[in-house]
Amino acid sequence: MRVTWITSDKHSPSIVEYGTSPGKYNYIAQGESTSYSYLFYSSGKIHHTVIGPLEHSTTYFYRCGREGPEFQLKTPPSQFPVTFAVAGDLGQTGWTKSTLDHIDLCEYDVHLLPGDLSYADYIQSLWDTFGELVQPLASARPWMVTEGNHEKENIMFLEDGFQSYNARWKMPFKESGSSSNLYYSFEVAGVHLIMLGSYTDYDEYSDQYSWLKWVEPHVVHLNHAPEVMCEPQDGRSAHHFHSCYEPRPWWFKFEDASFHLFMNRGIATLGPGYIFEISIFNVVPGSIYMLHSPSKHLWPP
């Protein structure tokens, strides 16, 4: 389990003390730190410390840097049942706190955030305020994230597109054999999850595609760009992303045709992000036909 926090004190140690009783820290872990500059902004000291191995379904009490407040973390179970909270595009609006409050009411084990975290969009101080906003939840349960389009902050010839995201939200990509923090996999309670990158190279010649073929079979995958949408012009990049992994006839408008790579791996798909829309069915009066075991798919000829 990796604990991440940021301090303004450049001399603060990257140490986490932890134990199973409040105020009693029987274990200590030493981590690493980094920082970054983005135009006129300089980050604080960003600490990343791995603690464990930890027992399943156990509450740990911990503090960071040998001082400061005590937090508590509940670890996921070792097997079913397991509960995931899934919410993307959090941002920092008047509704974000309400969304977090609703999540906090749930008895969940792991939070999955498929992209568009802070909506900083180049304003680096918003990364800091987002961290403060989600700290009550992110300090208490594991948060596993992947990048969205609002994490991409590239300035041609000046700044790397995901410098801020990669520095602050370090995921277990190396542990899963990935070469990039933008895509990785992990396992919780027997569920193997894969977090794909919609905004890094993903075609059949890319490192991500090669890694996906190599990684062990998975049950669930998440990425930011959705597979089903009603406005193709809004999801052009999403359509291209999924067409690389799920080839389908050009005339099939929606994104749920024949799976190739995904279907062969036996996978369920989640991608709750990027598009905000409400779909309303237009019910047209007419005859109703009941089809029993049709021999062909009913898409356009």
* pLDDT attached to residue 257: 30
User: What is the DSSP annotation of 63-80?
Assistant: EETTSS--EEEEPPPSSS
Class of domain 78-270: alpha beta
Instruction: State the residue for tokens 């300035």.
Output: 155
pLDDT value of position 266: 56
Task: Count Cα neighbours of 18 within 13 Å in the Cβ-side half-sphere.
Answer: 25
- State the pLDDT at residue 94: 85
- What is the pairing mode between strands 71-74 and 59-64? antiparallel
What order of strands is seen across the sheet that includes strand 71-74? 27-30, 15-19, 59-64, 71-74
Q: Are strands 32-34 and 2-7 parallel, antiparallel or unpaired?
A: unpaired
Q: What are the residue boundaries of the structural domains of the chain, listed by start?
A: 1-75, 78-270
Which pLDDT value is given to residue 216?
A: 67
Structure tokens at 128: 């800091």
The residue type of 136 is P
Left if phi > 0, otherwise alpha if psi is -120 to 50, otherwise beta: which for 91?
left
Are the beta carbons of 282 and 230 closer than 8 angstroms?
A: no
CATH code of 1-75, in short, is: 2.60.40.380
User: What pLDDT does 115 receive?
Assistant: 92
- CA–CA gap between residue 186 and residue 201 (Å, rounded): 21
Of 247, 219, 259, 197, the C-alpha closest to 82 is 219
Single-letter amino acid code for the residue at 284: V
Whole-model pTM: value is 0.81
Structure-derived torsion over alpha carbons of residues 160, 161, 166, 167, reported in degrees to the nearest 10: 50
Q: Are strands 143-146 and 184-188 parallel, antiparallel or unpaired?
A: unpaired
Q: What is the model's pLDDT at position 131?
A: 98
- Per-10-residue mean pLDDT of the chain, 301 residues long, equals 97 98 98 96 98 98 96 97 93 93 95 95 97 98 95 84 96 96 94 90 87 76 60 50 50 37 57 55 61 44 40
Distance CA 247, CA 259 (A): 7
Counting Cα atoms < 13 Å in the Cβ hemisphere of 20 gives: 8
* Per-residue model confidence (pLDDT) at position 296: 42
Residue of 266, 272, 203 whose CA lies nearest to 240:
203
